């Protein structure tokens, strides 16, 4: 970086300033920290100055010094300046010895002008170095922001699917970082997720991915630090990636302070070494994946908890009414089939899932004598039954995540002509989830067996649904249902639905 910053300086401009200040030609000589000439200068004088400076000790390098040459010339020299890494380089000004001896007073004038010129050169060098460092820093920040932005974009594109989000993010990182392989290694998750932007083929890729899950993972998990293997003779290759000539950068991904996975960048041996910038970007990616993994784990735990509660409520209902066992699951299955065919979003499907699964949970409050009666219900008993949608709502509405699901369950007994219950809603005033559940519920009620009758056939159920379309059921939802039925869906066999012999 030092030599590059020096070579970018226009020394001819400083040469003109020095000549003007000294009122005489005074050639500049610039050497870098390794005493190699930079720019145009007197080659003989530059070599002589370099030989002289090479003999100096660090304590002799602070003041302007005079070096007399054999050809009747002299060089005044001083360091260009110093940074935390040491001396940046050297500057010298060449003068005729005879002139200096004839006009001794001009020596002070030359040294003063030379000092000012060198200070100007060093100030420009520092500005260029700061600009270059700032440019590198901005470039690094841009790369980090790009990765963070990519995370957000992929989450929106692949909502709810952890593996799809991770896969898309790895593909983006592989292309953006120009890395042959980017992999997410979590031994407990299954096969290693990876993305490739190969500069040339890796014929043993499957073996490479397996090796990432072995000693590489165990080493980084134990150290808790990022591992970089660039050199082919790195002694750690004896027990990590043995006999594999690839360059490797492996970052730990932590979950509650425990390393449970890695982000691994891998390149062919003929590509450039992994740099500190690559390391920083890999660590940013690892941090993002760690946060994502934790978020998905938390969401999954919440889903599991909700599912367990739902199953417990359903079992409580079915314990009261064994003849309806499996009804909630079947209505849920059919409702989701209709919802997907309609084109509901992922969020809407999630809400429909809970609404359809828990639509009858209010039956837990119906007396056993009514709920389990083997024969037809009288008016008062049916009045009790009509309470259950409202009870379902009362049970579910206290759970914020189930607010819309509670409304769907509340109105699944409404009829399209307004003659249903509990509120007598009509047409599209009935929530869409409720209209979907109503079709699925009607189908399962007809095809399921009861204590007082066997389940009817699929054809009878379809015929009855068509008969009550427009009065009891929404024609648009029934149309979607009939389209599904026409494909001979798997649930006919899954639920052992009887068929007419014809």
Query: Of 62, 81, 77, whose CA–CA distance to 128 is shortest?
Result: 81
Is the N-terminal amide bond of 422 cis, ω within 30° of 0?
Answer: yes
Q: Are strands 181-185 and 86-96 parallel, antiparallel or unpaired?
A: unpaired
Q: What is the pLDDT of residues 91-106, one digit of tens each?
A: 888 888 777 777 777 7
Q: Which of 177-181, 256-260, 319-323 has the lowest mean pLDDT?
A: 319-323
Domains of the chain: 2-133 (3.30.450), 158-297 (3.30.450.40), 321-494 (1.10.3210.10)
Q: Are 434 and 335 a contacting pair, CB within 8 Å? A: no
Q: Give the single-character DSSP code of 260.
A: E
Span 303-311, average pLDDT: 76
Span 16-40, average pLDDT: 82
Question: CB neighbours of 486 closer than 8 A, spacing ≥ 6?
Answer: none
Q: Token pair 């100030």 is at which residue?
A: 123
The encoded tokens of residue 113 equal 């002008």
Q: Which of 155-169, 343-357, 364-378 has the lowest mean pLDDT?
A: 155-169
- pLDDT for 341: 95
231-239 contacts, C-beta under 8 A, 24 or more apart? 232/269, 239/215
> What is the rounded CA–CA span in Å between residue 12 and residue 30?
11
Q: Are 389 and 410 a contacting pair, CB within 8 Å? A: yes
Q: Which of 56-60, 77-81, 262-266 has the lowest mean pLDDT?
A: 56-60
Q: Token pair 């941090």 is at which residue?
A: 287
For the chain, the average pLDDT equals 82
Q: Token pair 């300033």 is at which residue?
A: 17
- 3-state SS, 71-108, equals CCEEEEEEEEEEECCEEEEEEEEEEEHHHHHHCCHHHH
Of 218 and 60, more confident: 218
Name residue 262's beta-bridge partners.
Answer: 185, 252
Span 44-49, average pLDDT: 79
Q: What is the pLDDT of residues 135-183, one digit of tens each?
A: 665 555 555 555 555 555 555 554 556 667 777 777 777 777 788 888 8
At 497 the three-state DSSP class reads coil
Of 402 and 325, more confident: 402
Q: Token pair 């002509």 is at which residue?
A: 417
């Amino acid at each position: 970086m030092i030599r590059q910053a020096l070579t970018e300086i226009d020394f001819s401009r400083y040469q003109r300033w020095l000549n003007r200040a000294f009122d005489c030609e005074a050639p500049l000589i610039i050497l870098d920290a390794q005493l190699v000439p930079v720019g145009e200068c007197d080659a003989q004088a530059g070599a002589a100055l370099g030989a002289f400076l090479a003999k100096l000790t660090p304590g002799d390098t602070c003041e302007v010094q005079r070096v007399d040459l054999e050809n009747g010339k002299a060089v005044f020299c001083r360091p260009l300046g110093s940074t935390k890494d040491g001396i940046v380089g050297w500057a010298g000004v060449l003068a005729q010895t005879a002139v200096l001896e004839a006009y001794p007073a001009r020596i002070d004038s030359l040294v003063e002008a030379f000092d000012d010129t060198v200070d100007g050169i060093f100030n420009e060098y520092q500005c260029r170095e700061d600009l270059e460092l700032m440019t590198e820093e901005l470039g690094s920040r841009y790369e980090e922001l790009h990765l963070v932005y990519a995370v957000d974009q992929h989450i929106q594109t692949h909502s709810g699917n952890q593996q799809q989000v991770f896969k898309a993010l790895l593909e983006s990182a592989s292309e953006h970082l120009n890395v042959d392989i980017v992999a997410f290694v979590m031994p407990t998750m299954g096969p290693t997720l990876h993305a490739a932007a190969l500069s040339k083929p890796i014929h043993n890729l499957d073996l490479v991915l397996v090796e990432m899950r072995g000693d590489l993972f165990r080493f980084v998990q134990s150290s808790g630090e990022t591992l970089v293997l660039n050199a082919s003779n790195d002694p750690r290759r004896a027990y990590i990636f043995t006999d594999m000539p690839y360059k490797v950068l492996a970052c730990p991904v932590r979950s509650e302070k425990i390393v449970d996975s890695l982000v691994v960048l891998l390149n062919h041996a003929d590509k450039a070494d992994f740099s500190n910038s690559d390391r920083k970007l890999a660590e940013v990616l690892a941090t993002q994946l760690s946060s994502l993994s934790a978020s998905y784990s938390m969401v999954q735990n919440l889903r599991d908890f909700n599912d367990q509660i739902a199953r417990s409520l359903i079992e409580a209902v079915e314990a009261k009414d064994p003849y309806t066992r499996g009804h909630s699951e079947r209505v849920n299955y059919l409702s989701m089939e209709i919802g997907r065919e309609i084109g509901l979003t992922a969020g809407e499907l999630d809400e429909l899932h809970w609404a359809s699964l828990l639509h009858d949970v209010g039956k837990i409050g119906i007396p056993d004598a009514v709920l389990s009666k083997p024969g037809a219900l009288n008016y008062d008993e049916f009045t009790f039954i009509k309470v259950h949608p409202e009870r379902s709502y009362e049970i579910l509405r206290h759970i914020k995540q189930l607010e819309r699901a509670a409304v769907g369950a509340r109105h699944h007994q409404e009829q399209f002509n307004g003659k249903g219950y509990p509120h007598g809603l009509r047409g599209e005033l009935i929530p869409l989830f409720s209209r979907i559940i109503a079709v699925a519920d009607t189908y399962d009620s007809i095809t399921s067996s009861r204590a007082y009758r066997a389940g009817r056939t699929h054809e009878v159920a379809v015929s009855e649904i068509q008969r009550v379309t427009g009065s009891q059921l929404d024609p648009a939802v029934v149309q979607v249902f009939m389209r599904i039925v026409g494909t001979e869906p798997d649930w006919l066999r899954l639920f052992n639905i009887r068929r007419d012999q014809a």
